[in-house]
């Protein structure tokens, strides 16, 4: 019997897939070149030529949003990647050596990172190394590390008391191997759910950094900077602010719905209830 997919997962995945598709298509084709300025057609209303109109430099809004999706998704994916690649092994290590000095050092290190206001540190990093998409990725990624370390440690700790882990220990397996073979596959569902949530937070953080000018640099379009540039014309052309704002809200909403749906789908307790 196939389990029914949660409705919110379908809706969330559909919204996110639309953005991902737009980002992918933008690599091959966009309606208009986003670097080409066309002052003659500035602030044009939506038309057949410009489906979502143009901005104050006459750039096509649809093309800008498509390329902006690319920036947002790339930054968020890489930031989540950094968080997972560094955080999950740290969390598994802490869980395997629970109660030891290593566990203490890792978890207090986590607390230390958590204690810093993340946006301020991101601003600091970009201020020192210069604003760019790469530095935004690193800044957001660093703050994902303790999240994944904590989540994977917590999930792994409850597994370490289970009998099948004891059986693996009786089979002479070392903590490293048990973590890899038994713990990691069994906490994958938790990590996937946390990953989608961190992904949506990454999109928000990227938009925030770009808004203050510390993310992707011109002429690379980004949702956050589109918002920032639109704010002076909020009364004359509200469309310029509404469109990128809507894109951010929809992408984050879609990812959060997806995360909730995945949680329902992957939670063994709920799964058992459905069977």
CB distance 198 to 186 below 8 Å:
no
Q: Which is nearer to other proteins, 246 or 274 (CB)?
A: 274
Of the two residues 39 and 275, which places its CB atom closer to other proteins in the complex? Answer: 275
Minimal distance in Å, beta carbon 94 to other proteins?
19
CB of 170 to other proteins, least distance (A): 5
Residue 97 C-beta: closest distance to other proteins, Å: 12
Nearest in space to 23 (alpha carbons), one of 58, 59, 75: 75
Tokens standing for 139?
Answer: 């800044």
Q: Which is nearer to other proteins, 42 or 173 (CB)?
A: 173
Angle 7-28/239-266 helices, nearest 10 degrees? 130
Residue 134: HSE in the Cβ half-sphere, 13 Å Cα cutoff: 2
Tokens of 237: 């052309």
Of residues 7 and 36, the one with the C-beta less far from other proteins: 7
Cis peptide, bond prior to residue 219, ω within 30 of zero? yes
Measured distance CA(145)–CA(275) in Å, rounded:
35
Catalog residues that contact other proteins under the rule CB under 8 A: 162-164, 166-174, 181-182, 185-186, 268, 273
Which residue number, 51 or 169, has a Cβ lying nearer to other proteins? 169
Please list, in sequence order, all residues whose beta carbon lies within 8 angstroms of the beta carbon of residue 53, skipping any fewer than 6 positions away: 43, 44, 45, 46, 47, 61, 239
Minimum distance from residue 189 beta carbon to other proteins (Å)? 10
Question: Which residues are paired to 181 by β-bridges?
Answer: none
Min dist CB 17 to other proteins, Å, is: 27
Structure tokens belonging to residue 51: 């489906």
Provide the minimum distance between the beta carbon of 87 and other proteins in the complex, in angstroms, as a whole number. Answer: 22
The smaller minimum CB distance to other proteins, of residues 101 and 128, is found at: 101
């Amino acid at each position: 019997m196939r389990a029914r997919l949660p409705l919110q997962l379908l809706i969330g995945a559909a919204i996110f897939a639309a953005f991902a598709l737009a980002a992918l298509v933008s690599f091959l084709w966009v309606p208009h070149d986003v670097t080409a300025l066309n002052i003659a057609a500035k602030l044009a209303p939506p038309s057949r030529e410009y489906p979502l109109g143009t901005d104050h430099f006459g750039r096509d809004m649809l093309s800008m949003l498509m390329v902006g999706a690319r920036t947002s998704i790339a930054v968020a994916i890489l930031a989540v990647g950094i968080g997972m690649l560094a955080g999950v092994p740290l969390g598994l290590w802490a869980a395997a050596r629970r109660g030891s000095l290593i566990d203490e050092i890792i978890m207090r290190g986590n607390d230390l990172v958590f204690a810093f206001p993340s946006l301020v540190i991101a601003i600091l990093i970009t201020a020192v190394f210069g604003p760019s998409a790469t530095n935004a990725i690193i800044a957001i990624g660093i703050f994902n590390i303790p999240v994944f370390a904590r989540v994977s440690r917590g999930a792994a700790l409850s597994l370490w008391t289970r009998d099948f882990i004891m059986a693996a220990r009786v089979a002479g397996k070392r903590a490293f191997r048990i973590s890899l073979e038994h713990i990691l596959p069994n906490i994958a569902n938790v990590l996937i759910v946390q990953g989608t949530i961190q992904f949506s937070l990454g999109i928000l953080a990227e938009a925030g950094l770009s808004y203050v000018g510390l993310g992707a640099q011109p002429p690379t379009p980004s949702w956050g900077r589109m918002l920032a540039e639109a704010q002076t014309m909020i009364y004359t052309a509200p469309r310029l602010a509404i469109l990128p704002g809507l894109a951010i809200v929809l992408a984050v909403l879609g990812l959060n719905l997806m995360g909730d749906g995945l949680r329902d789908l992957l939670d063994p307790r709920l799964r058992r209830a459905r069977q």
